[in-house]
Amino acid sequence: MKPRLAESPGGLWEAIRTASKTGVVGPAGRIIYPTLRCDGKDYQVACDGVSIQRRGTGGALTLTAATPAEVTDLHQVIDNDQLQVLLLSQPGFQSGYRRPYVLQELHSPSGAFTTV
C-alpha cells in the first residue's frame, strides 16, 4: 500500500505544515523535516508553516525563498496529487558527501485525490 498523508489537497497541505513545524521521527530515530519533491525540484516548508523554500541542487545546503511562480506551481501539484513528500538523509556525512537520499516516503502521489 502506498504511503499517504491525506486524501484531499487541504488535508495534505495541513499535514505538510504540521510535519514542517514539528519534524518527523525518521527511521534512525532522528527528527527530520520533510522535503517536497515535484518536477525534479526539492522544497521545504519553513518551521513557520507558511514560507516555502527551494533546496539547492546536488545536495547543496542552501535554501532560497521559492519564487511566486514556484509557489503557485507547488500548490497546483498539491491540488493534482502529484507531490512526493519525503524524508531525506542529512547532507554531508550521513549522505556520504553526495546528494541526500530517500530514507522514507511519507506521501506517494496518485495523480488525483479520491472523493468520498
Per-residue pLDDT tens for 7-19? 999 999 999 999 9
Nearest CA among 9, 100, 116 for reference residue 59: 100
Label residue 54 by pLDDT band (50, 70, 90). very high
- Residue 58 pLDDT: 62
Residue for cell digits 509557489? 71
SS (H, E, C) 3-37: CCCCCCHHHHHHHHHHHHHHCEECCCCCEECCEEE
Rounded to whole angstroms, the Cα distance separating 56 from 115 reads: 36
Query: What does the pLDDT look like over 58-108, one tens digit per residue?
Result: 656 788 999 999 999 999 999 999 999 999 988 777 777 778 889 999 999
Q: How confident is the model at residue 1 (pLDDT cuts 50, 70, 90)?
A: confident
Whether the CB-CB separation of 89 and 103 falls below 8 Å is answered with yes
